Amino acid sequence: MSLIKKISLDYMAIKHDQNFDNLSERFRKNIYDSPKGQIRLNILWRDLLEQIPEIETGGLSILDVGAGQGNFALQLAKKNNQLTLCDLSNNMLLDAQTLFSENKLEKDARFIHAPVQELSEHIAEQYDVVLFHAVLEWLAEPEQALKQLLKFIKPGGYLSLMFYSRTGLIYQNLTRGNFNNILNNSLSGEGKSLTPTNPQDPDDVYRWLKGLKLNTVLKSGVRVFYDGISRERRKQINEEELLELEKRFSRIEPYCSLARYIHVLCQKQDVGFID
């Protein structure tokens, strides 16, 4: 079979967005009950704080699309920012609601059970910051979803976009000796796997952002090297040192571009509405 045919078959296989109703437990265990979650939260917080210091003093309106179990949203809500969380998965959203109520912040936040494609039916306002973290790579039509988000960002407001990088995935497969995955072009996860169904080529994402006139103000790699550490060694490493080094190398090339995820913080031009 020719490579082009294989690639188009790969694409055709992604028919729908991944609802996390049946993945919530595995997701929690794999990400937020492990240093992976801490790396994610630390890099995101550092990046946002650097560009938008008001997130610490509060008062910002923030929309978290595909918010999942609400881990990062909670961190922002604790600083008196006004959070709206939405997700396609009811189970994930219920977990987020529980987390907020355990922290006595449920009444200050809004929870919307809807996919990004139907958000306009629920939301009329624009936000200071829109978060779209680890969602793009689970969508059948990621570029369309990005376009749909634009109307929810205030002019001059921010989009914090974190996506699973195809480049990072290829590099990890190569260095682990998983050559078949590369040779067969089978880079998409399936069924109950936490490997995303649609890993994103960073160049595609940067091109879409440019087309939407979203200016990139900073870029970081998330999990630049952690996944390459053996399970045995992981048990011995010091988490503070891990976070310090992940942060340090997250902004340095070529490490940044080889990371599992890329975080791009973009600012919407102050020129009014683009649809």
Ligand X SMILES: C[S@@+](CC[C@H](N)C(=O)[O-])C[C@H]1O[C@@H](n2cnc3c(N)ncnc32)[C@H](O)[C@@H]1O
Please pick, from the candidates 92, 99, 205, 266, the single residue that binds ligand X as defined by CB under 6 A. Answer: 92
Among the listed residues 6, 115, 181, 185, the single contact to ligand X using CB under 6 A: 115
Candidates 6-14, 83-91, 183-191, 259-267 — which segment interacts with ligand X by CB under 6 A?
83-91
Strand partners, 221: 262
Stretch that binds ligand X, among 130-138, 200-208, 229-237, 265-273 (CB under 6 A): 130-138
Shortest distance (Å) from residue 128 CB to ligand X: 18
* 63 interacts with ligand X by CB under 6 A: no
Taking CB under 6 A as the binding criterion, the range among 51-59, 88-96, 218-226, 246-254 that sits at the site for ligand X is: 88-96
The yes or no reply on residue 100 touching ligand X (CB under 6 A) is no
Closest-approach residue to ligand X (CB): 68
> Minimum Å distance from CB 116 to ligand X?
4
Backbone angles phi, psi at 129, to 5 degrees: -140, 135
**Bridging pattern class, strands 214-222 and 261-268:** antiparallel
Smaller CB distance to ligand X: residue 19 or 216?
19
Residue number, 65 or 130, with CB nearest to ligand X: 65
- Minimum CB separation of residue 115 from ligand X in Å reads 4
Does residue 18 interact with ligand X by CB under 6 A? yes
Residue 52 contacts ligand X per CB under 6 A: no
Q: Which residues pair with 162 in a beta bridge?
A: 133, 263
Among 39, 48, 71, 148, binds ligand X (CB under 6 A): 71
Alpha carbon 135 to its chain's center: 5
Question: Judged by CB under 6 A, which stretch of 105-113, 133-141, 223-231, 237-245 contacts ligand X?
Answer: 133-141
249 in contact with ligand X (CB under 6 A): no
* 129 near ligand X, rule: CB under 6 A: no
How many degrees, rounded to 5, is the angle at CA 121 between CA 118 and CA 124?
115
Binding interface with ligand X (CB under 6 A): 17-20, 65-68, 71, 87-89, 92, 115-117, 133-135, 138-139
